[in-house]
Each structure stands twice: as C-alpha cells, then as structure tokens.
Structure 1
Amino acid sequence: MRKLGLIGGMSWVSTRTYYEHINRIVQQRTDRHTSAPLVIESLDFSNLCALKDEADWDRAAGILIAAAQNLVNAGAGAIAIGANSMHRVYDRVAEAVSVPVIHIAECVGQRMEADGVETAALIGTSNVMTESFYRRRLVAHGVDLLPPDMANVETLDRIIYDELIVGKATRDAERKLKTMITVLEQEGAKAIVLACTELELVVDVDANVLPIYDSTHIHAEAAAEWILGSD
C-alpha cells in the first residue's frame, strides 16, 4: 500500500471522519488486521476560520503549502486536503509539491457524472456556495447547479461554524437541513452535494428525499483507492 498525507484539523471532527472512513475501506478490501498507512498534519483551525479578504487567504495558502511539504517530507506519495472550503487555494498547494493532491470537488463531480446527475444543489460554507472555485469543477462534469439561496448561506454558516466544527449536532440543525433539502427538491434539484466535511453530522445520507453526495465520504473513498493502488 501507498502512504497518503492528510491535511486535517479543519475541523478535527471531519479529520476523524476521514481517518475512520479510509481505514474501514482499506480493512474491507484487505483483511481485518490492516490499517491504512497515513501521515496527518493536523492544523490549528483557529488560524484558518473566518477568512475574509485576499490577505487572509494568502496566509491560509502559506499554512497549507507548508503542511503539504511536511507531508511529502514525511513520505506521503499523495495528499488530500480534508476541507471543502480550503480547496480555494488548491492550485497553489498542488503547484508547491511534487506529488498529486486529490481534489475533493473533482471526486464528487466524477461520481455525479457517472451517475448521470444533471441538476443539483450545493450546500456548504458561504465561500463554497457562492464562489466559483468549487462550483466550476462540478459544472465541468455536466452538473447544472441551482443558484445559492442567501438565506440558506447564512443559516449554514451559523450551523457549521457555531456547532458542527466543535462536534455539536442538534435536532434543530437536523430539522433545518431536512427542510432546506425538501425546498431545494421543490425548486428543481435532483441531487444534493454536501460540500462541507461536517454536514454528515446533521444530514442522514440514506434517508432523504433526494440522492445525497457526501463530499467527505467520496473524497475519503478516492483517498483509500489511491492507498490501495486502484486509482
């Protein structure tokens, strides 16, 4: 197996999910005593949340580039960034290292294209929902995305940053997400992309009115496939 580097800590909740999901896949495809060879750079999220302007994003890019280089120096043959929003600086990170960086939106887009999904709604943090860096990756795979509802953007940012990143999953948040997804179906969405690595805490992927594409699990599956040499 090949050693994967994971840039985590954004938040620790999603890093836990990546670690568990990658190892479960590796175990299922090998034997019950096997663990995935991983090296993890767990960042301090307090230095990377609430990024406002380009100076903030430049600073974030520097932090992620240093983390990626540390992972390569530790023997990682590929890297995954365990956060959707941080893929805003993906190109700069990928250019700074000599190993492949597995793009989360590319993994989601490929899965949706294979499934024939043509119209979907994207839910996540405000920068993922409103900026082009993530949306264009899905559009390139033939997915037409509904425009973001700014009321949803505000609600999601509050739930994600005030609750989910500290591991808090409330019934109120579950109800809000269920209502949001139901309304998006009424507006024409044929699938939902969970473009935040913590949203699985309050969205039941298997019990919804629409197919749910959970970016965290899809990204972790791609990482496990790389580890196993089946990329």
Structure 2
Amino acid sequence: MIGTFPGCVIFTRIKGETIMEFLMRKIGLIGGLALRAGIFYYEQIQKRFAASQAPLQLVLSHADVLRVLSYVAAEDRIALGAYLGGLANELADAGCEIVAISAVAPHIAISDITRVARVPLISILDAVPAGLAAAGTDRVAVFGNRAVMQTRVFGAVAKQRDISLDRDVLDWVHNTYAEIAIHGKRATQPEMTEFSRLANRLLQRKNAQAILLAGTDLSSFYAEHQPDFPHIDLAQLHIDQIVRHALA
C-alpha cells in the first residue's frame, strides 16, 4: 500500500517489470433481504476481489426484510425509497462511495431510493439489457418474485423479449422462491427437478432461449449446482457491475 485517501485506497502490485495501481471505491451493500441474499453478494464480491488481488472495502447494512416486502406488496415506492435511501445514506456516512441492494424486488422503487440517497446506486436493472445482449438472447422467461415476473423485472426486459408464464407456473415459481428465500434452501432436489421441468417446457413449447434467474435467492440456490437448462443469472451480472464500479 502506498497511501490512503478519503473513501479509497491506492496500492501497487509488482508483477515482473509491471507496476499496477488501483483506485478502490468502498462498497456499501444493503443486505438482510432474505436469509442468504447479502451473504451471497458478499461471498461473490470477495471472490472477485481475491482473484484480482485487490483489497476489498465493504460495509454491509442489514435491512428489515418484512418491512421491505410489505412495501413491495403494497407498491409503496415512497416509503420504500425513504427506508432504503436512508440506509444508503448511513452507508455513505460510513465512507461508502457506491451502494447496491442485494435483491431484485426492492428495485420497484429504485427511482425513489436514488432520489433520497446521497451516494450513487448501482441498480440491478441496468445490468439486464447488456446481459441479454451479451448472451445473444432474444426471448427469455423470468423466474423470481411475483412482482418481478409480472413486470418483466420492472420493465428492464423489453416486452418483445419476454415470455409470459401461465398462471399456475407463475404461482408455483413465486411460492417456491419465497420458501427458498425464507429457509435459505440450496440445491434441494425436489425444487431443482421441478424448476428444470418447467424451464424445459418453456424452452420447448414457448420458444424461450433461456431462463432469466431474477432473484438473488435463486442465484444462491444454484451457487454450487448450476441449472441443467440455459439460464442467465441476474445477480451475477449485478455483482460484476458492482465490482467494475469499485475497481474503476
């Protein structure tokens, strides 16, 4: 390390004859949004920093998941914006220069959260168009929370790209997702088998090219056993985006 400045660390790493300098941004992470969401983001961010041999600076804030879900269910964007924007400001006061929310559903109020926050928000919604383009995918079906599925990830998936789910499929995915989130399930066989069956039905009968996993707890569920169907992991795209901003 060669010096510290407010909100950042500068260090050098020598590899052969090359000296590399990194300007680090401290990450603020809003977690607590289901059992494993914040932990999953932290683990994945830490792995990426370790791979780049960069020192990680991160502060985790614990949100009240029941309070957040009640605002999401009521579509009370103003209250949700005030609550999560307030947490973002606490992270800013702790020296964080960027903040991310480790769940998809709260992004229903991303405009209101951004309006309240005094620090830049790295929105998961911004990762969707580039992620679909990079995957070369024109048609996807969304798996996640009911609000996320019904709104095409709050409009981040273009209408012409989205394959709507039948009501029974949507209900099962939502209910199963909620159970995974509440109990912190990971790679349990009954759920894996049914997700695979539904995904393959969408691929074969509705011409989906991939399933968009649009829920952090689905990403955590499959962290150690990847799905056996074509998929795009939105949380991983978001985490890549966070790390890019932190290392920029």
State the TM-score, normalizing by the size of structure 1.
Answer: 0.87
More strand per residue: 1 or 2?
Answer: 2
**Distance (Å, rounded) in 2 between the aligned partners of 1:178 and 1:164:** 19
**Distance (Å, rounded) in 1 between the aligned partners of 2:122 and 2:182:** 23
Deviations 1:53-97 (A, max 9, x none): 244x44333211111111111111111111101100001111222
Deviations 1:136-180 (A, max 9, x none): 22229xx71111322122112221222333212432111111111
Q: Is the 1:178–1:203 contact (alpha carbons within 8 Å) kept by the matching residues of 2?
A: no
**Distance (Å, rounded) in 2 between the aligned partners of 1:199 and 1:112:** 18
**Distance (Å, rounded) in 2 between the aligned partners of 1:202 and 1:65:** 28
1:158 aligns with 175
Deviations 1:107-142 (A, max 9, x none): 13212113321111111100000125x2522229xx
2:243 aligns with 224
2:47 is the alignment partner of 1:19:
no
The residue matched to 1:194 in structure 2 has which SS? strand
2:195 is the alignment partner of 1:174:
no
**Distance (Å, rounded) in 2 between the aligned partners of 1:78 and 1:104:** 13
**Distance (Å, rounded) in 2 between the aligned partners of 1:151 and 1:35:** 46
Runs of 4+ in 1 over 6 A off after TM superposition: none
Q: Is the 2:98–2:121 contact (alpha carbons within 8 Å) kept by the matching residues of 1?
A: yes
Runs (5+) with no aligned partner, structure 1: none
User: Which has more radius of gyration?
Assistant: 2
- The number of aligned residues is 221
Instruction: Kindly report which structure 2 residues correspond to 1:38-117, keeping only aligned pairs within 5 A, or say none.
Output: 38-50=58-70, 51-55=72-76, 57-117=77-137
CA root-mean-square deviation: 2.1
One of 28, 52, 60 as aligned partner of 1:5: 28
Residue 202 of structure 1, CA deviation: 4.1
Q: Is the 2:45–2:243 contact (alpha carbons within 8 Å) kept by the matching residues of 1?
A: yes
Structure with higher RCO (Cα < 8 A, 6+ apart): 1
Give the fraction of aligned pairs with identical amino acids, expressed as a percent.
24
**Distance (Å, rounded) in 1 between the aligned partners of 2:201 and 2:26:** 42
2:216 is the alignment partner of 1:193:
no
2:142 is the alignment partner of 1:125:
no
1:146 aligns with 163
Residue 201 of structure 1, CA deviation: 4.2
The residue matched to 1:137 in structure 2 has which SS? coil
Q: Is the 1:119–1:146 contact (alpha carbons within 8 Å) kept by the matching residues of 2?
A: yes
**Distance (Å, rounded) in 2 between the aligned partners of 1:72 and 1:109:** 28
Q: Is the 1:106–1:138 contact (alpha carbons within 8 Å) kept by the matching residues of 2?
A: no
One of 181, 184, 190 as aligned partner of 2:202: 184
Residue identity opposite 1:168 in structure 2: K
Deviations 1:18-51 (A, max 9, x none): 0000010011012xxx542111111121222354
**Distance (Å, rounded) in 1 between the aligned partners of 2:175 and 2:95:** 38
State the TM-score, normalizing by the size of structure 2.
Answer: 0.81
Residue 5 of structure 1, CA deviation: 0.9
Residue 203 of structure 1, CA deviation: 4.1
Give the direction of change, closer, same or farther, for the CA distance of 1:112–1:159 in structure 2 (3 Å limit). Answer: same
